[in-house]
């Protein structure tokens, strides 16, 4: 049997990038032979094994055929007769369809190296269209390698467009989609992921609520970029430039969904978009079974981001309500992430990327002032139960009034 490194490990070594996870393919072996050598079988769907010592993945060379709708609709065929070339042709992109042996001899039947040099993401064969997840994968690789100058080949975009129009994207499970979306959002250029999905018509299928923001104007005085879709892309771009976590990036993507619902005769104003957007954010969260922390932050940022921007003008009582809504006493991290998302929103405006955002420190200071109100003296005064809660609120309001006066004096 022969063993080859394949996929990302080969691609990233040739790009001169660090290689983290290594996938290997085994040609000329049977499941029984692998087990006899001590490999542990792990693949539920495919014959995949873990190396007894290193724990790295070894997959038997296989071919695949589409036999139905969605991802369940695949039959695979693994046997010692399946060649390396046959295994490589079922892969998504030419740059992912190269293999190398221990001596670094490259097997590259589909010209991945040529595309790597030309900075092109190109599908390997028409079988690309058999798995709609590949639309998301290509967009994700575009987001990852945009900084190196990679773009999607025209003929691959055509296939992605056909796949999007066919309705096949609807057959993807929430889990597979979210895995790609979340990884893509954490890449260096997540806005490219959304842009590529939009360009091939997949965004309209997957997250129509975001697609609907393109072509919706905002007031030029606040938003020199005018278009809400372009603004959303810039906010996402800022979130990556500022190395924000997934929660913040997800909230950035969804924060303005309400603007897609504004009746045209109200444009470019978007009165109460913070509230109209909430049911859309909820729907998107549920569609992809998004992790709870991402769901929560997206909803809170959607509802309160304009409060964040107006922080210095808010009455002390409104400021207190904001802090209470975030439960800043038990969830300090979440409030920090809210502040970060607001700042990314403010910076995601054309020409205003470098403008300082004093609201951030002001909100942090307000949270600190509210947290520093001590409970002990109130207990000593005999407050209990709901009355204690009321007294605590009064004291916090007092503290916030003092804070506001001092900070804006």
Whole-number minimum distance, CB 285 to ligand ATP, in Å?
A: 24
- The dihedrals phi and psi of 210, each to the nearest 5 degrees, come to -80, -40
Chain Cα centroid distance, residue 158: 24
Positions touching Mg ion (CB under 5 A) are 8, 21
Within 13 A of 280's CA, how many CA atoms are on the CB side? 25
Axis-axis angle for helices 385-408, 358-371 (nearest 10)? 140
Give the residue with the Cβ less far from Mg ion, 142 or 251: 142
Q: Which listed residue (4, 62, 92, 301) binds ligand ATP by CB under 6 A? A: 92
- Count interface residues toward ligand ATP (CB under 6 A): 12
Radius of gyration of the chain (CA): 26
Tell me: does residue 131 bind ligand ATP (CB under 6 A). yes
Nearer to ligand ATP, 124 or 363 (CB): 124
Which of these, 306, 309, 325, lies nearest to 317 by C-alpha position?
325
Of 102-110, 128-136, 239-247, 353-361: span binding ligand ATP (CB under 6 A): 128-136
Identify which of residues 21 and 117 has a Cβ nearer to Mg ion in the complex.
21
The rounded distance, in Å, linking the Cα atoms of 9 and 18 is 9
CA 241/CA 235 separation, integer angstroms: 10
Give alpha helix (H) positions in 153-201: 154-165, 174-185, 190-199
* Nearer residue to ligand ATP within complex by CB, 27 or 399: 27
CA angle in degrees (0–180, nearest 5) for 213-241-204? 25
How far, CA to CA in Å, does 161 sit from each of 150, 299, 337?
Answer: 19, 31, 36
Nearest-approach distance from CB 8 to Mg ion, in angstroms: 4
| Residue 57 vs 188, nearer CB to Mg ion | 57
Choices 89-97, 145-153, 190-198, 253-261 (CB under 6 A): range interacting with ligand ATP: 89-97
Using the minimum distance from each CB to ligand ATP, give the nearer residue, 141 or 335: 141
User: Of 7, 132, 229, 260, which lies in the binding site for ligand ATP, with binding defined by CB under 6 A?
Assistant: 7
Interface with ligand ATP by CB under 6 A: which range of 133-141, 210-218, 226-234, 367-375?
133-141
Distance, C-alpha 3 to centroid of its chain: 34
Report d(CA 235, CA 254) in Å as an integer. Answer: 10
Give the whole-angstrom CA distance, residue 403 versus residue 361.
12
- Using the rule CB under 6 A, which residue among 91, 189, 249, 347 binds ligand ATP? 91
In the complex, residue closest to ligand ATP by CB: 8
Residue 316 as a binder of ligand ATP (CB under 6 A): the answer is: no
Work out whether 8 is an interface residue with ligand ATP (CB under 6 A). Answer: yes
Name the site residues for ligand ATP (rule: CB under 6 A): 7-8, 21, 23, 91-92, 96-97, 131, 133-134, 137
């Amino acid at each position: 049997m022969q063993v080859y490194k394949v996929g990302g490990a080969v691609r990233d070594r040739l790009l001169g990038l660090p290689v983290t996870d290594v996938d290997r393919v085994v040609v000329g072996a049977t499941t029984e032979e692998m087990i006899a050598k001590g490999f542990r079988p792990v693949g539920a769907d495919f014959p995949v094994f873990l190396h007894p010592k290193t724990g790295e993945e070894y997959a038997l060379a296989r071919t695949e055929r589409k036999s139905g709708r969605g991802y369940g609709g695949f039959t695979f065929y693994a046997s010692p007769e399946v060649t390396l070339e046959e295994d490589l042709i079922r892969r998504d992109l030419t740059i992912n369809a190269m293999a190398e042996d221990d001596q670094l001899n490259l097997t590259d039947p589909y010209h991945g190296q040529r595309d790597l040099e030309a900075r092109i993401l190109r599908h390997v064969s028409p079988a690309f269209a058999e798995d709609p997840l590949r639309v998301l994968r290509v967009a994700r690789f575009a987001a990852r390698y945009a900084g190196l100058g990679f773009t999607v080949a025209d003929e691959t975009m055509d296939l992605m467009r056909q796949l999007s129009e066919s309705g096949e994207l609807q057959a993807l499970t929430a889990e597979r989609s979210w895995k790609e979306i979340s990884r893509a959002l954490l890449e260096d250029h997540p806005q490219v992921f959304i842009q590529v999905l939009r360009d091939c018509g997949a965004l309209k299928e997957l997250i129509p609520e975001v697609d609907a923001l393109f072509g919706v104007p905002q007031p030029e005085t606040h938003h020199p970029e005018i278009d809400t879709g372009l603004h959303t892309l810039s906010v996402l771009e800022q979130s990556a430039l500022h190395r924000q976590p997934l929660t913040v990036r997800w909230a950035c993507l969804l924060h303005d969904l309400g603007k897609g619902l504004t009746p045209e005769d109200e444009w470019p104003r978007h009165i109460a978009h913070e509230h109209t957007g909430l049911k859309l954010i909820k729907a998107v969260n549920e569609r992809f079974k998004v992790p709870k922390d991402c769901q929560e932050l997206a909803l809170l940022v959607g509802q309160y981001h304009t409060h964040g921007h107006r922080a210095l003008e808010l009455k002390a009582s409104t400021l207190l309500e904001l802090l209470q809504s975030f439960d800043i006493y038990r969830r300090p991290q979440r409030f920090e992430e809210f502040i970060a998302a607001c700042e990314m929103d403010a910076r995601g405006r054309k020409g205003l990327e470098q403008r300082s955002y004093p609201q951030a420190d002001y909100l942090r200071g307000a949270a600190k002032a509210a947290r520093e109100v001590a409970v002990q003296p109130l207990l000593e005064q005999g407050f209990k139960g709901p009355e204690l809660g009321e007294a605590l609120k009064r004291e916090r309001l007092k503290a916030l009034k003092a804070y506001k006066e001092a900070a804006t004096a």
